[in-house]
Amino acid sequence: MVSSYLFVNFKTYSEATGKKAVRLAKILAFFSRKGVEIIPVVQAVDLASVSSAVSLKIFGQHADPVSFGSNTGAVLPEALKSAGAYGTILNHAENKRPNEFIEKAVRRCRDAGLKVMLCAESIQRAKELARFAPDFIAVEPPELIGGDISVSTARPELISDSVEAIHSVDKKTIVITGAGIKNSGDVRKALELGTKGVFVASGIVKAESQKNAVNELMKGFHQPNPLRGFR
């Protein structure tokens, strides 16, 4: 049974694009353990190659509320699914959309059989988005994204308050937190404060050693995992 989640956002970092996306996904797969679902969140163009290389559940980074037809340039939910996506995120702080867009996109993703994680920049926004009953909501203060101070350290109250706020609207939505997460202490604190997992990007993707970074973060889930054996 999955009890917690490590979402890893590949963004458009060079260290996580193309062949390097596949390499990073293989590292994540190596550290995958019972009880902790590791979910790579990859660019749409890398979905097919990543999903054929590892057996992790993979998410896309965005989907548009369109159906088959004349929608040049759009990210079609069915295309994500057939490229191997298990789900997608929507409304990341770097790709924000209005609620009306999100409501339609959640519906289209559901039609296509995709899980959805909505990102929210504040507790107020998280409450608004919870009305759409997504599978996950990730609350990430934008000012801490990509920085060295984690949300667990800088705004611990935001984590516990967001869990309460989201569950006051929809108890089934799984709450994730992110921004600046770098070590096992950050993960442990986020879990202690009531979330089911973390959303990490630079702490893994930009790390000097991606393997060491994943190993360190996994310790926060109480799943120590020596590097021995990884090539």
Stretch that binds ligand G3P, among 31-39, 107-115, 179-187, 222-230 (CB under 6 A): 179-187
Q: Are 6 and 198 in contact (CB under 8 A)?
A: yes
* Residue at shortest CB range from ligand G3P: 202
Torsion sign over Cα 64, 39, 171, 118: negative
Residues with Cβ within 8 Å of 11's Cβ and at least 6 positions away in sequence, in order, are 61, 94, 201, 205
Q: Is 178 in the site for ligand G3P (CB under 6 A)?
A: yes
Under the binding rule (CB under 6 A), the answer on residue 32 touching ligand G3P is no
* Region of 64-72, 121-129, 174-182, 222-230 interacting with ligand G3P (CB under 6 A): 174-182
Q: Give the residue with the Cβ less far from ligand G3P, 40 or 203.
A: 203
Contact 205, 46 (CB under 8 A): no
Residue 24 corresponds to which tokens in the numbers above?
Answer: 């990073």
| Residue 74 CB, nearest approach to ligand G3P (Å) | 22
How many Å apart are CA 106 and CA 116, to the nearest integer?
7
* Of residues 73-92, those binding ligand G3P (CB under 6 A): 92
* Comparison of 70 and 208: residue with beta carbon closer to ligand G3P: 208
Active site residues: 92, 140
How far is the C-alpha of 90 from the C-alpha of 95, rounded, in Å?
8
Out of 77, 84, 134, 180, the residue judged to bind ligand G3P by CB under 6 A: 180
Q: Which of 11, 5, 36, 37 is nearest to 24 (CA)?
A: 11
- Please report the DSSP string for 171-215 in residue order: TTSEEEEESS--SHHHHHHHHHTT-SEEEESHHHHTSS-HHHHHH
- The yes or no reply on residue 10 touching ligand G3P (CB under 6 A) is no
Of 193-212, binders to ligand G3P (CB under 6 A) are 199-203
CB 122 within 8 A of CB 103: no
Residue 181 is a binding residue for ligand G3P (CB under 6 A): yes
The answer to the question of residue 146 lying near ligand G3P (CB under 6 A) is: yes
Of 66 and 197, nearer to ligand G3P (C-beta) is: 197
Q: Contact residues for ligand G3P (CB under 6 A)?
A: 9, 92, 140, 145-146, 178-181, 199-203
